[in-house]
Amino acid sequence: MSELQQRIDFIKAIDGLKEVQRQTLLMSKSRYENSGEHSWAVATFALTLADYAKPGTDINKVIHMLLLHDIVEVDAGDTFCYDDAGYEDKAEREQAAADRLFGLLPSPQAQQFRAIWDEFEAEETQESQFAAALDRMIPILHNLNTNYEAWIKNKVSYAQIVQRNQKIAKANPELWDYIHTRVRQAVDSGHIPEG
């Protein structure tokens, strides 16, 4: 099989990302977003907020991470971030999906894409921490701008939101302060339960 055909087969496989429904409403509240839309939106978010990254952060690498980070959901599905039971085998499902999907590509591109995905998952570099922060932040913005409907539907509490998302502060305290203030307002107005 030619390298071109391998790359086309990869593109065909990841088209399935458009079929993976998430638990995040579009800001129009017309429907839930899919993982393909999420990946595009969060990559664009990185372009828009690039100057909030720590000095020396490679924004192009962050964008690559955000475009590749959810590809595994083609096989593994989307695991709602507040679903403790879903997280029990999430890593195993996603590793198997990464093996299969990135394995469709010719070498060394397969190793390059997989290394970017692994770096995102580890959250040890400036780039991966910033990418992960934006990946956590954008669904919060959706919830804040859709009258908290998905949070209310899934009985998400303030304590869960903070526990899951306070890592945003590691990438940029200002971004966390912005989000945390607005989430706190949702609690204080009675829309989201405290704990």
| Contact in structure between 144 and 89 (CB atoms under 8 Å) | no
Sign of CA dihedral 122, 124, 128, 132: positive
State how many domains the chain has: 1
Residue from 32, 68, 62, 47 nearest 132 by CA = 62
Instruction: Label residue 103 by pLDDT band (50, 70, 90).
Output: very high
Assigned domain for 193 exists: no
Query: What is the overall mean pLDDT for the chain?
Result: 96
Q: What are phi and psi of 33, to 5 degrees?
A: -80, 160
Assigned domain for 29 exists: yes
Assigned domain for 195 exists: no
Instruction: Label residue 152 by pLDDT band (50, 70, 90).
Output: very high
What residue type is assigned to position 14 of the chain? I
Residues 163-185 have a mean pLDDT of 96
CATH number at residue 96: 1.10.3210.10
Query: Alpha-carbon distance 143 to 113, whole Å?
Result: 31
Both tokens assigned to 144: 């804040």
> Would you say residue 87 has pLDDT above 80?
no
| Contact in structure between 39 and 62 (CB atoms under 8 Å) | no
Q: What are the pLDDT digits (tens) for 114-123?
A: 999 999 999 9
SS3 category, 145: coil
Query: CA 40, 147, 176 angle in degrees (round to 5)?
Result: 60
- pLDDT value at residue 28: 96
Q: Measuring CA to CA, how many Å separate 122 from each of 55, 97, 127?
A: 20, 17, 11
| Contact in structure between 45 and 179 (CB atoms under 8 Å) | no
Whole-model pTM?
A: 0.95
Domain with 153 in it = 3-188
